[in-house]
Amino acid sequence: NNNNNNKSNINSHPVGRSRSQLPTPKAKKYDRQLRLWGDHGQQAIEQARVLLIGANAVGTETLKNMVLPGVGSFTIMDHRRVTEEDCGSNFFVELARIGEPRAKVCAELLRELNEDVIGDFLEDRLDVLLQRDPGFFTGFSLVIASGVRHSDLLVLSDLLYDRDVPLIVCQQHGMLATCQLVAREHFVWEAHPDNPLPDLRLENPLPEFVAFCDAQDLSAMDSQRHSHTPWLVILYKFLSKWRQANAGKFPSNYAERQAVRQLIRSGERGESDLHGDEENWRQAQSAVTTALLPSKLPSNVNELFKLADQFWLRRQQLSDSSAPSEDRQAAVPPSNWLLLCRTLAEFYRQRGCLPLCGTLPDMVSDSDRYVALLNIYRRAADADLVEFSRLLRVVCLDIGLSADSVPASQIALFCKNARHLRLVKTASYRELSRPLPQTVARCLEETAEAGPSPFWWYLLFHACDRFHTEFGRFPGDTDDVNFLADAGQLKLKCQQLAQDWLASLATTSAAGPTSAPEDLLHELCRFGRAEVHSVAAWMGGVLSQEGIKLITGQFVPETRTMLYDAVSQTFLPVF
């Protein structure tokens, strides 16, 4: 199992560090991306092994954007030979190499993009290798299947899903492309939210913070000191005043927060002299909206607690029962993230809060007071981290693991991002590609009113796959001028598919048509499965970053089935 969650070498020599502090050539090359995912993210990328099945335009464009940032290694599987058509859509083939194995040519031209990356290729047919050597597939960190037929995807996904190897599936028809991430469980270590609320704990303030604020006498300050008092101190003082006058309760609604804001305004001096601009007081007033929100456990974290508790409960039940140890689940040690989540739940139960994040936003202030505040919060966060680590050791020992199972840097990263942690998961491709009848009925009903929608296209893509299975080519993929003749068969396939999907519904829903509008049938036949390069490149950009999210555990992946429509420039969920 090659996923990043069990990395024990997160401390090893990061890419950027050298004794003189001057960047290494590699750090220089990757500088612009290191600023986005850090040295540890880069390390995860450099340890990843990616398999691309389908060296077509979308596939190679996706891989290109993973080779450039330095993915450890890739393998391309494709049984086809380079054709003239490839040379009009795929950047990683050449006219001079028509007839050669496509996997070989693409592997060479992709590998030469980045000398740090290892790449190889296979000419095997996917269906053959799936039968002959299924173990081959589960050794990768990520598998990308571009333009692979449905029947093969079912087998592939079944193989990868339970082994926790994430799969990215994509198809292109002309100006349209669909994609889907398939991952049983993916833990997001660092979500990097856009505007996170600061972790100030004003509801239950840190004792050291209280002492610091109490030692400040606003009325006795000269104007320099007054106008350089950090807003956090100002806010706390007036909050306390309000709480004293309201039986100690914490502001719980808009009106009460506004009352605090009014109190702050009354403390402004507003005289204009050399240091007269009291921006800090204005900052204190605007901070009221975000700093005084009652803290509650984020739902994403609550979900993690439930998962961890369920896992532990099951473990307990299995060890208590006299069931034979055939059940491998019990014997497999939990991933680091599960250990950490279990500990987090325990921490929360004991302390009633998550570990303190420890950072503060910037604010107008003199140096000494801002630094003092930072240190107060940092010390408290450090103390929480020590306590958390102690609890973690107990959790590990308790289930027979070594006390140092999780590296210190990973524990610190986990605590720092505690509020934004989440587990992302999808169903298997088998389930995803057979939507629930209720879902289908709803989509058909919606589209009957709104007109062409991603759902129709998605349905048609599957119908095209069935068409291909029967006729050995895609609708419209012919030099025959009468390409529209295929529309009839495509329509039949579409209707059959919709009926299949609706089959188990008790009521025969006559609510919507079960055939795609004529326009869409026509347009798909027009495309004839063309690989329009700019559309493939767009999808390649999106999928490569989704792959990096899965590899690094940073940023939040898109888990819905999506459709890119380059005509309307939309990227919308199918269901």
Q: Which of residues 479-538 bind another protein (CB under 8 A)?
A: 483, 518-519, 522-523, 526-528, 530-538
CA distances from 283 to 107, 288, 369, 377 (A): 55, 9, 16, 20
Count of beta carbons in the 10 Å neighbourhood of residue 56: 23
Residue 91 touches another protein, criterion: CB under 8 A: yes
Task: Look up residue 12 and give its amino acid.
Answer: S
Size of the site for another protein (CB under 8 A): 92
Residue from 10, 113, 293, 383 in contact with another protein (CB under 8 A): 113
CA 20 – CA 346 distance, rounded (Å): 43
Q: Which of residues 290-329 bind another protein (CB under 8 A)?
A: none
Task: Look up residue 2 and give its amino acid.
Answer: N
Min dist. Cβ of residue 475 to another protein (A): 12
Q: Which of residues 154-183 bind another protein (CB under 8 A)?
A: 174-175
CA distances from 239 to 87, 251, 256, 284, 374 (A): 68, 9, 10, 11, 20
Q: Is 332 exposed, middle or buried (0-12, 13-18, 19+ CB in 10 A)?
A: exposed
Contact status, residue 11 vs residue 409, Cβ threshold 8 Å? yes
| Residue range at the interface with another protein (CB under 8 A); choices 90-98, 306-314, 332-340, 439-447 | 90-98
52 DSSP β-pair partners: 76, 144
3-state DSSP of 185-208 = CEEECECCCCCCCCCCCCCCCCHH
Task: Look up residue 97 and give its amino acid.
Answer: R
Residue from 3, 544, 552, 561 in contact with another protein (CB under 8 A): 544
Q: For residues 99 and 352, which CB has a smaller minimum distance to another protein in the complex? A: 99
Residue 196 touches another protein, criterion: CB under 8 A: no
Min dist. Cβ of residue 486 to another protein (A): 12
| Residue range at the interface with another protein (CB under 8 A); choices 130-138, 146-154, 191-199, 250-258 | 191-199
Nearest CA to 58 out of 570, 564, 575 is that of 564
Q: Which of residues 447-476 bind another protein (CB under 8 A)?
A: 452, 476
Q: For residues 146 and 405, which CB has a smaller minimum distance to another protein in the complex? A: 146
Residue from 183, 235, 542, 551 in contact with another protein (CB under 8 A): 542
Residue 227 touches another protein, criterion: CB under 8 A: no
Residue from 1, 8, 13, 85 in contact with another protein (CB under 8 A): 85
Residue 131 touches another protein, criterion: CB under 8 A: no
| Residue range at the interface with another protein (CB under 8 A); choices 3-11, 68-76, 236-244, 248-256 | 68-76
Residue 36 touches another protein, criterion: CB under 8 A: yes
* Per-position x/- string for 372-391, each x denoting binding to another protein as judged by CB under 8 A, each - no binding: ---x----------------
Q: Residue 228 has which token pair?
A: 């350089």
| Residue range at the interface with another protein (CB under 8 A); choices 117-125, 203-211, 358-366, 427-435 | 358-366
**CB-hemisphere CA count at 13 Å for 298?**
15
**CB-hemisphere CA count at 13 Å for 323?**
15
